[in-house]
Amino acid sequence: MKYLKQFVIGSSYLVFLPFYYAVYNSRPEKTYSYYNYTLVSPLWFGIWNVISLIIAEYLSLSSRIRFILISILSSFSIMTIAKYFKSYNFTKSEWNKYYIHIFIKYLIVWNFIIYLLEKNLLPL
C-alpha cells in the first residue's frame, strides 16, 4: 500500500502539469507527440517516486537525501533517454541549455513539490 501511495503522489497533476505546459508550448524541435508525452509523464514520476522510496529504505536515507538523490538520478536518466532517442532537434548549445533546464526543473519538482505532497498527504 505504501508503494501505491508513492506512485499516486508522484503521478499527481501538481507534479506533471508544469511539464505538460512546457512541452505543449515548446518550439517544434521535439520529435515526439504531445499525446504520447501526456501518457508517459505521470508514469515516469510515479515509478521514480516508488524507486526513490525503495532506495531510501534500502540505504536508510532521510527524506531530504532521498529527494536530492532521486532528482539527480531521474534527471540524468531523462537527459540520457532524450539524447539517445533524439527527442529534440537541438544544436550542441541547445542541448546544454536543455540539460540545465531539466536538472533545475527536476530539483524543484522532487525537492519541493513531491517532498511537500508526501510530507503533508502521506500520513492520511
Domain boundaries, the chain: 2-121
The stretch 22-47 carries a mean pLDDT of 84
Residue 98 banded pLDDT, cuts 50, 70, 90: very high
pLDDT value of position 36: 86
Which residue from 111, 32, 14 is spatially nearest to 78, judged by alpha carbons?
32
pTM summary value:
0.89
* Phi/psi of residue 52, nearest 5 degrees: -65, -40
Which residue from 61, 73, 78, 63 is spatially nearest to 111, judged by alpha carbons?
63
pLDDT value of position 26: 75
Instruction: Please say if the pLDDT value at position 66 is more than 80.
Output: yes
Return the SS3 of 65. Answer: helix
86 Rama sector, left if φ>0, alpha if ψ -120 to 50, beta otherwise = left
